[in-house]
């Protein structure tokens, strides 16, 4: 019976192999070649050449550093704000439904539209953010948030939080609503306050959900492209040049497919290592 | 549990802050799309337009490229949704129902593939599609979108298939129905919500997608809506923000309609996929 079933699965899996496994493995392999964009160019296996070149490519590591700052700040802040909002929505408040629906909108919007919208908001001459800051006398001159060296990355991070927070909130909220009410009742009988209930019941019970959503957020943020491409295109002066944008330029502006694939390989390795340590520590502390 | 009035008040303040952070940008976009060009140029922008002006919408819709982009996006999203469903349904069924050593391997692959940066997907596909003359064509983009959404669609659908009670299928087979007949007349109807959710998810992913389209489509005739919108922004200084805002609102409407419809199902689908996968 088991043999019959294994065989029955094989034809169903053929499309997965053709359309998912093969291209992705091919992508990894290209990082070890000198593939170029031209039409009739030969592709040769070059071993670790691309990677040794990358080691000495300061610009790539700059973009890597920016990518790590971006990923960690967006993921952590997203989580903190989302946890706060989810806790609020989990109480018996009014307009909870409104808030929940509103929370989903940013997630549903095309990233390009989100970027356009924030460019309107942060516009130095007729954007409302500058208007408000000036009215409150927090600044005496309009700030070019996306064009200034010191503000570009923080501004882009704020937009990243705005986009990803809703999804995180909804997931955390779903997790909170799955927690057994009687745990809180028992804790209340024992005299535990709201704060201690949060620490001793909510957080431990939410653990799996938290690990799952923060891991996903981390992957999504590290690999994000469209939002920042339209917001700043990596500028000013490469201050927001995420690794994905860097690899995109390498591949489709300069035509170095092999080198760009090698950058992709490095990104995969880093994120897998990161997730490995993150998940291992989390899962171990559970045991 | 009783909440003290002071705490309650602070809670409302916090929620209002959140709502402003999440809602204000949207409100601003919509209000910008309804402002007349003159009001737009004003140095002291106001949140609500002084009088509603729909000329931005008519301007946006008169823009040739925009309508074409809309059509292209619609076509590409529709085709890739159909293709993803056709390909993923049998696989998801097999993954959920057959106990095989291939199952954990395939599910492992699905998870690993989520980690891949899109650059590693697009370069090999580009090199495969180019000799076939499929770069810069709609079928080419459709294939790429399928490769890209397939793992997630499998993940979601699997959860929905697993939620269909196995006993129903066993009962049908006792009654003499073959595997195919069982799938068509027992499983499919029960899977409808799951299929709809997966279809919508795939559709919206394709509708919103930017990177692959940017790489694959150079022909202005073929550009999708996000590409057309992004090009509007590109020429700094020349930007007509009013029509751009209007077009952005229009581009968001389909996603919003779908998500409003789907919100509960989608989260439950995500969770059931995670739990039962």
Q: What pLDDT shows up at residue A95?
A: 64
Taking 80 as the threshold, does the pLDDT of residue A3 lie above it?
no
- Phi/psi for B5 (5° steps) reads -55, -40
Average pLDDT over residues B125-146: 90
Cα(A78)–Cα(B81) distance, rounded to whole angstroms? Answer: 30
Cα(B42)–Cα(A236) distance, rounded to whole angstroms? Answer: 27
Band of the pLDDT at A241, cuts 50, 70, 90? very high
- In chain A, which residue's Cα lies nearest the Cα of B121? A24
CA dihedral over A193, A199, A201, A206, signed as positive or negative: positive
B117 and B23 within one domain: no
B218 and B154 within one domain: yes
**Over B210-221, what HEC string results?**
CHHHHHHCCCHH
H/E stretch holding B158: helix B138-163
Taking 90 as the threshold, does the pLDDT of residue A261 lie above it?
yes
For the stretch B55-69, what's the b/e string if a residue is b when 16 or more beta carbons lie within 10 angstroms of its beta carbon? ebbebbeebebbebb
Taking 70 as the threshold, does the pLDDT of residue B44 lie above it?
no
**Over B199-257, what HEC string results?**
HHHHHHHHHHCCHHHHHHCCCHHHCCHHHHHHHHHHCCCCCCHHHHHHHHHHHHHHHHH
Taking 60 as the threshold, does the pLDDT of residue A72 lie above it?
yes
Asked if residues B133 and A278 have their Cβ atoms less than 8 Å apart, the reply is no
B144 and B26 within one domain: no
Chain A contacts of B210, Cβ < 8 Å?
110-112, 225-226, 229-230
Task: Name the minimum distance, in Å, from the CA of B230 to any CA of chain A.
Answer: 6
Which range is most confident: A141-145, B52-56, B79-83? B79-83
The region of weakest confidence among A146-155, A250-259, B105-114 is B105-114
Asked if residues A146 and A122 have their Cβ atoms less than 8 Å apart, the reply is yes
B181 and B103 within one domain: yes
- Phi/psi for A143 (5° steps) reads -100, 130
B145 and B35 within one domain: no
Contact B119 A271 (CB under 8 A): no
Average pLDDT over residues B26-47: 78
- In chain A, which residue's Cα lies nearest the Cα of B16? A99
Residue B46's CB: how many other CB atoms inside 10 A? 12
Question: Is B118 in the A-facing interface, judged by CB distances under 8 Å?
Answer: yes
Q: Could you tell me if residue A271 is left (phi over 0), alpha (psi between -120 and 50 degrees) or otherwise beta?
A: alpha
Instruction: List B residues 178-217 in contact with A (Cβ-Cβ < 8 A).
Output: 204, 207-211, 214-215
Domain annotation for chain A: domains and CATH numbers? 59-286 (1.10.3720.10)
Q: What pLDDT shows up at residue B273?
A: 47
Asked if residues A281 and A217 have their Cβ atoms less than 8 Å apart, the reply is no
Task: Name the minimum distance, in Å, from the CA of B257 to any CA of chain A.
Answer: 9
Task: Name the minimum distance, in Å, from the CA of B205 to any CA of chain A.
Answer: 9
Q: What pLDDT shows up at residue B276?
A: 40
- Phi/psi for A33 (5° steps) reads -125, 175
List the domain range (segments joined by +) for residue B182. 60-276
Question: For residue B119, what is the domain's CATH number?
Answer: 1.10.3720.10
Asked if residues B241 and B216 have their Cβ atoms less than 8 Å apart, the reply is no
Average pLDDT over residues A15-29: 87
B32 and B155 within one domain: no
Contact A126 B207 (CB under 8 A): no
- Phi/psi for B72 (5° steps) reads -60, -45
Q: What pLDDT shows up at residue B188?
A: 82
Task: Name the minimum distance, in Å, from the CA of B89 to any CA of chain A.
Answer: 9
Any idea which residue has 């997907």 for tokens? B121
Q: Which among B188, B196, B107 has a CA at the least distance from the CA of B152?
A: B107
Q: Is A33 helix (H, G, I), strand (E, B) or coil?
A: strand
Contact B25 A39 (CB under 8 A): no
The region of weakest confidence among A203-207, B92-96, B165-169 is B165-169
Question: Is B6 in the A-facing interface, judged by CB distances under 8 Å?
Answer: no
Please name the member of B14, B100, B209 whose beta carbon is closest to the beta carbon of A9: B100
Q: B38, B53, B68 — which closes off a domain?
A: B53
For residue A270 the two structure tokens come to 């880093």
Cα(A87)–Cα(B180) distance, rounded to whole angstroms? Answer: 47
Q: What pLDDT shows up at residue B275?
A: 41
Taking 70 as the threshold, does the pLDDT of residue B98 lie above it?
yes
Cα(A24)–Cα(A10) distance, rounded to whole angstroms? Answer: 20
Taking 50 as the threshold, does the pLDDT of residue A38 lie above it?
yes
Q: What pLDDT shows up at residue A94?
A: 67
Contact A19 B225 (CB under 8 A): no
For an interface test with B, the pick among A4, A7, A9 (most B C-beta atoms closer than 10 Å) comes out as: A9
For the stretch A141-157, what's the b/e string if a residue is b when 16 or more beta carbons lie within 10 angstroms of its beta carbon? ebbbbbbeeebbbebbb
B224 and B87 within one domain: yes
pTM of the full structure: 0.85
Average pLDDT over residues B43-67: 78
B219 and B113 within one domain: yes
Rg (CA), chain B: 23
Contact A27 B123 (CB under 8 A): yes
B47 and B75 within one domain: no
Taking 70 as the threshold, does the pLDDT of residue A126 lie above it?
yes
Helix, strand, coil share of chain B (percent; to 5): 80, 0, 20
A-B contacts (CB, under 8 Å): 252
Task: Name the minimum distance, in Å, from the CA of B91 to any CA of chain A.
Answer: 5
Residues A80-101 pLDDT 10s: 999 998 888 888 766 667 766 7
Band of the pLDDT at A183, cuts 50, 70, 90? confident
What percentage of chain A carries pLDDT values higher than 70?
Answer: 91
Band of the pLDDT at A208, cuts 50, 70, 90? confident
Please name the member of B11, B115, B125 whose beta carbon is closest to the beta carbon of A271: B115
CA dihedral over B175, B179, B183, B184, signed as positive or negative: negative
Distance of alpha carbon A131 from the chain centroid: 30
The region of weakest confidence among A222-226, A274-278, B41-45, B253-257 is B41-45
DSSP string, B6-55: HHHHHHHHHHHHHHHHHHHHHHHHHHHHTS-HHHHH-SS--SS-SS--TH
B139 and B30 within one domain: no
Asked if residues A98 and B263 have their Cβ atoms less than 8 Å apart, the reply is no
Complex-level ipTM beyond the 0.90 threshold: no
Cα(A28)–Cα(A85) distance, rounded to whole angstroms? Answer: 40
Task: Name the minimum distance, in Å, from the CA of A72 to any CA of chain B.
Answer: 16
Q: Which among A78, A70, A86 has a CA at the least distance from the CA of A162?
A: A78
Q: What pLDDT shows up at residue A99?
A: 66
Q: What pLDDT shows up at residue A234?
A: 84
B128 and B45 within one domain: no
Q: What pLDDT shows up at residue B271?
A: 47
B138 and B49 within one domain: no
Residues B202-246 pLDDT 10s: 898 899 999 999 999 988 899 999 999 888 776 554 567 788 889
Instruction: List B residues 144-183 in contact with A (Cβ-Cβ < 8 A).
Output: 146-147, 150-151, 154
Q: What pLDDT shows up at residue B274?
A: 43
Residues B1-21 pLDDT 10s: 456 788 888 888 888 888 888
Residue A135's CB: how many other CB atoms inside 10 A? 9
Band of the pLDDT at B72, cuts 50, 70, 90? very high
Instruction: List B residues 20-49 in contact with A (Cβ-Cβ < 8 A).
Output: 21-23, 25-26, 28-29, 32, 40-45, 47
What is the rounded (10 degree) CA torsion for B48, B49, B55, B57?
-10
Counted domains in chain B: 2
Taking 90 as the threshold, does the pLDDT of residue A159 lie above it?
yes
Contact A131 B106 (CB under 8 A): no
Contact A27 B121 (CB under 8 A): yes
**Over A139-174, what HEC string results?**
CCCCCCCCCCCCCHHHHHHHHHHHHHHHHHHHHHHH
């Amino acid at each position: 019976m088991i043999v019959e079933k294994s065989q029955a699965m094989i034809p169903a899996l053929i499309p997965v192999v053709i359309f998912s496994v093969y291209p992705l493995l091919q992508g990894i392999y290209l990082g070890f070649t000198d593939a170029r964009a031209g039409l009739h160019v030969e592709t040769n296996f070059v071993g670790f050449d691309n990677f040794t070149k990358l080691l000495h490519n300061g610009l790539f590591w700059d973009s890597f550093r920016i990518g790590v700052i971006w990923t960690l700040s967006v993921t952590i802040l997203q989580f903190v704000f989302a946890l706060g909002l989810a806790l609020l929505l989990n109480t018996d408040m009014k307009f909870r439904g409104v808030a929940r629906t509103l929370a989903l909108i940013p997630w549903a919007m095309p990233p390009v539209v989100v970027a356009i919208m924030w460019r309107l908001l942060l516009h130095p001459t007729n954007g409302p953010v500058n208007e408000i800051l000036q009215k409150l006398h927090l600044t005496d001159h309009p700030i070019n948030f996306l064009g200034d060296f010191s503000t570009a990355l923080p501004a882009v991070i704020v937009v990243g939080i705005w986009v990803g927070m809703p999804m995180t909130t909804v997931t955390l909220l779903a997790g909170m609503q799955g927690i057994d009410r009687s745990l809180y009742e028992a804790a209340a009988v024992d005299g535990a306050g709201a704060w201690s209930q949060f620490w001793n019941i909510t957080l431990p019970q939410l653990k799996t959900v938290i690990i799952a959503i923060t891991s996903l957020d981390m992957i999504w943020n590290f690999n994000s492209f469209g939002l920042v491409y339209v917001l700043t295109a990596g500028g000013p002066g490469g201050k927001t040049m995420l690794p994905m944008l860097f690899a995109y330029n390498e591949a489709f502006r300069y035509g170095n497919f092999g080198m760009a694939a090698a950058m992709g390989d490095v990104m995969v390795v880093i994120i897998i290592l990161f997730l490995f340590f993150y998940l291992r520590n989390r899962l171990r502390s559970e045991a | 549990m009783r909440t003290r009035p002071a705490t309650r008040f602070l809670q409302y303040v916090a929620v209002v802050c959140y709502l402003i952070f999440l809602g204000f940008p949207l409100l601003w976009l919509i209000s910008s799309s309804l402002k007349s060009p003159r009001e737009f140029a004003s140095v002291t922008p106001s949140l609500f337009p002084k009088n509603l002006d729909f000329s931005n919408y008519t301007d946006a819709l008169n823009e040739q490229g925009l309508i074409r982009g809309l059509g292209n996006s619609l076509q590409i999203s529709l085709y890739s949704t159909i293709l993803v469903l056709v390909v993923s349904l049998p696989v998801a069924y097999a993954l959920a129902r057959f106990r095989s050593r291939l199952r954990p391997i395939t599910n492992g692959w699905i998870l690993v593939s989520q980690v891949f940066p899109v650059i590693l997907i697009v370069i090999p596909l580009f090199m495969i599609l180019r000799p076939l003359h499929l770069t810069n064509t709609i079928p080419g983009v459709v294939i790429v979108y399928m490769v890209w959404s397939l793992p997630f669609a499998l993940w979601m659908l699997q959860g929905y298939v697993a939620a269909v009670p196995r006993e129903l299928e066993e009962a049908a087979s006792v009654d003499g129905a073959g595997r195919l007949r069982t799938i068509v007349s027992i499983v499919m109807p029960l899977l409808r919500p799951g299929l709809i959710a997966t279809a919508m998810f795939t559709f919206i992913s394709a509708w919103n997608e930017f990177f692959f389209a940017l790489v694959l489509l150079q022909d202005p005739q073929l550009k999708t809506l996000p590409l057309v919108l992004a090009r509007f922004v590109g020429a700094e200084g020349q930007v007509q923000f009013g029509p751009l805002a209007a077009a952005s609102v229009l581009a968001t409407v389909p996603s919003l309609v779908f998500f409003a419809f789907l919100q509960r199902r989608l989260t439950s689908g995500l969770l059931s996929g995670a739990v039962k996968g």
